[in-house]
Structure 1
Amino acid sequence: MPSCVHVGTVNPDIEPRTPGACEDCLAAGTRWVHLRLCLSCGKVGCCDSSPSRHASAHFAADDHPVMASAEPGENWRWCFVDQTLV
C-alpha cells in the first residue's frame, strides 16, 4: 500500500456533525447512498455513488484530504490527495 503523509494530520476522535446523514443532502432535500466522514472537520458527506457526491466536493472545496467510511461495519479511510486507502 502506498504511503500517505496526510493520515498523520487526521483527528482520530472527530465527531460527525450530522451523524447518520449527509449534511449537504439534508440541506438540499436530496438522497444519498453511502456516507463518508471528514477526519479534519467532522463533516459528513455522501460518496461518489450518490447523486451529489458531497464528500468529494468537500475535499475539492476545503482540501481536507482524508475521509473515513461512516457506514456501520466499515472501517477504512481514503486519502483524496494520494488516491489510496490509508
Structure 2
Amino acid sequence: MSPHVEFEPEVLTALNAGRKIDAIKALRSLRGIGLKEAKELIDSYADAHKPKGKSIEVAESNFSVAKLLFVGLIIYLAYKFFNS
C-alpha cells in the first residue's frame, strides 16, 4: 500500500485526532471498500506520518503530570480557604 494516498477531509480529521477506528469507518463509508483494505490504507498512512522524536506515551504522561499539578493546586487552595 502506498502511504501517499489522498484521503477525504473526514478521514484526515479522524486521523489527526488519533481516532484510527473512526478514520477506517469513514473511509469504508465514503469509498465503499472493505474493512481489510481500509485498515491497510489507514495503517500505512499512520506509519508514514508518525511524529518524529516523540512517542504518544510521552505526550500522555505530560498530560497526567499537568492533571496532577492542577488537582494539587485545587487541594491547596481549598485548604487555605477553609483554614483562614
TM-score by length of 2: 0.28
Which of these two proteins has the greater Rg computed from alpha carbons? 2
User: TM-score by structure 1 length?
Assistant: 0.28
More strand by share: 1
The answer to which structure has the higher helix fraction is 2
